[in-house]
Amino acid sequence: MQMSPEGMNALLKQFEGCKLKAYRCPRGICTIGYGHTNAAGAPLITDNSIITQQQANDILRRDLVQYENSVNKLVKQPLTQHQFDVLVDFVYNEGERNLATSTMLRKINAGQFQDVPSELAKFNKAGGKVLPGLVRRRQAEANWWLAADAIEASNENEAPTADEHEQRTTADPVPVPTMANSSQGNAALVTAGLGSLGVAKQVAAQAQDASDTADQLIGLFSNPNFLIMSAIIGLGIAIWFFRKQHMEEHGV
């Protein structure tokens, strides 16, 4: 798929703005046209570069290919044109990595499209601060995701000023929850650890009491304390595994 001209006008062009003379973005990077930088490839620009409107449009069309390819590669569910437009705009603004590691992508690939607007809203900060330009961009993307009608009114009423460029600032990555942050997962590890200590004690005691390996094994499997500790270890491992699976599927 490719980004539609309508999506380009309503989202990307609207929020990027177009500068025909090179300037330095808030991060000090030489930029021209619709947010084109040398990192995107040709044409290479300097502080003195000047282009025409047609050149700006052509550069944008070439630059978009890599972002369209990113969305086509990462998303495993069929998308409508509006949904594809939103994700290309998001990757153009935030980068492929922020989409690839996001809960939003996991939900899209799980078919949970209704959660996308709220996930988009999380990407509204830069330098730890909420930026109005990013808030407006995420809201416009959410509207475009849901329906075409709402987008025009949103853009007319809340169009950003071209001089601020705050909507171009890359948002802070949204932290991905891990098992290290899971209280249930940590409790499961503690439970399994305590069970392991108990099993170790029972094995040591049985090794002293029995003369050969067969006697040790028979003694262990007839020892209720050993069986209880083994069950505790199994329970802890099971809780940890199912908690990890839940976090990978749902992000929480």
Phi, psi values for residue 123, rounded to 5°? -95, 70
- Of 25, 30, 96, 164, which residue is the catalytic one? 25
Kindly provide the residue ranges of all beta strands, DSSP E only, lying in the chain, ordered along the sequence.
Answer: 19-24, 30-33, 125-126, 129-130
- What is the greatest pairwise CA distance in the chain? 91
Phi, psi values for residue 26, rounded to 5°? -55, -20
- Which position has the token pair 């025009």? 152
Do 88 and 67 touch, CB atoms closer than 8 A?
A: yes
- Of 16, 68, 119, 141, which residue is the catalytic one? 16
> Catalytic site residue 30?
no
> Catalytic site residue 119?
no
Distances (CA, A) of 57 to 9, 14, 16, 43, 64: 11, 13, 12, 13, 11
Active site residues: 16, 25
